[in-house]
């Protein structure tokens, strides 16, 4: 079987590499050509266009920025006719309704579609320890399970298309709110001169603790947000998706709306490409 992987950015690169480590035949495509060179050196075939990937491959993974990017890749004049007989597995984070609409169009064109968003970051992608949440039929899940195990020890079938994306957005909502809440608490501790390690010791022993606090602690203390595992601009994109979905369901989104405002300020301060812990700079201004 020939496997395609479109989108070799921060997450796509190590994920495609896991397929190569499994001695699979892999063809990769990325709009920025230099981003595929590390994979070429490890044996990946390099495609000049999405159409070439669809021509050559039976199963195509997508790790793209948003639904618009997915549509551009799949439904251009040159690629629409190539979808028949192919399985598309979208691992990008998009809205449930967007995933369902893309699934419908792929099916109409004679292909198959699954969603498989992931929870985790670059370190987990490199080691194959991501949490993979699948939206598909039971038959599709069983057919492609072993392939998905290259990314996760135990991929989970959540339900039909849309269900896995809903779960992913719910989890990313926690990322946004937990990080913002921790940034505020840490800023309060710093400005009042309370010992940070004492604060962390008590926090770690309590039911309030989340491991992400320790992962972001030193970045916030040092205000060092370079080499991101997940950029601020992507968290803002996901926050907007969550707000839209939650508002449509009649949920009160006041808390997340405040986080969105902080993320938007971070963008105006050129922190979009930095690690999302950079929102600490917005919450806690330097004197």
- How many residues comprise the chain? 287
Give exposure, 141-170, as e/b (b: 16+ Cβ within 10 Å): beebeebbebbbeebebbeebbbbbbbbbe
Q: Which of 18, 168, 233, 260 is catalytic?
A: 168
42 closest CA partner among 60, 16, 63, 66: 16
Kindly state the tokens that stand for 173.
């909502």
| Residues whose CB falls within 8 Å of the CB of residue 17, separated by 6 or more in sequence, listed in order | 38, 39, 42, 126
Classify residue 7 by its DSSP letter. -
What is the spatial distance between Cα 16 and Cα 42, in angstroms, rounded to a whole number? 10
What is the spatial distance between Cα 89 and Cα 57, in angstroms, rounded to a whole number? 12
99 closest CA partner among 5, 163, 155: 163
| Residues whose CB falls within 8 Å of the CB of residue 260, separated by 6 or more in sequence, listed in order | 236, 239, 240, 243
**Cα dihedral sign, 145-237-37-5:** positive
Q: Is 168 a catalytic residue?
A: yes
Angle of helix 232-248 versus helix 254-268 axis, rounded to 10 = 150
SS3 state of residue 60:
strand
Cα atoms in the 13 Å half-sphere on the side-chain side of 31: 8
Residues forming the active site: 168
């Amino acid at each position: 079987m020939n496997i395609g992987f479109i989108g070799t950015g921060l997450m796509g690169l190590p994920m495609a590499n896991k397929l190569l480590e499994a001695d699979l035949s892999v063809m990769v495509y990325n709009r920025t050509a230099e981003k595929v060179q590390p994979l070429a050196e490890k044996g990946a075939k390099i495609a000049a266009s999405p159409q070439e990937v669809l021509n050559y491959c039976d199963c195509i993974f997508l790790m793209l920025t948003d639904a618009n990017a997915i549509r551009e890749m799949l439904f251009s004049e040159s690629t629409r006719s190539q979808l028949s007989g192919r399985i598309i597995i979208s691992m990008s984070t998009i809205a449930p309704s967007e995933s369902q609409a893309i699934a419908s169009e792929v099916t109409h064109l004679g292909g198959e579609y699954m969603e498989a968003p992931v929870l985790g970051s670059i370190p987990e992608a490199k080691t194959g320890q991501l949490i993979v949440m699948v939206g598909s039929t039971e038959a599709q899940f069983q057919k492609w399970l072993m392939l998905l195990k290259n990314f996760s020890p135990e991929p989970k079938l959540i339900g039909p298309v849309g269900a896995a994306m809903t779960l992913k957005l719910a989890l990313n909502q926690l990322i946004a709110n937990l990080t913002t809440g921790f940034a505020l608490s840490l800023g309060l501790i710093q400005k009042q001169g309370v010992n940070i390690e004492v604060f962390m010791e008590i926090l770690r022993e309590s039911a309030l603790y989340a491991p992400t606090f320790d992962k972001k602690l030193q970045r916030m203390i040092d205000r060092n947000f370079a080499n991101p595992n997940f950029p601020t601009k992507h968290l803002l994109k996901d926050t907007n998706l969550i707000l839209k979905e939650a508002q449509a369901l009649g949920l009160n989104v006041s808390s997340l709306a405040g986080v969105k405002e902080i993320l938007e300020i971070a963008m105006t301060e050129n922190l979009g490409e930095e690690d999302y812990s950079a929102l600490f700079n917005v919450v806690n201004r330097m004197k």
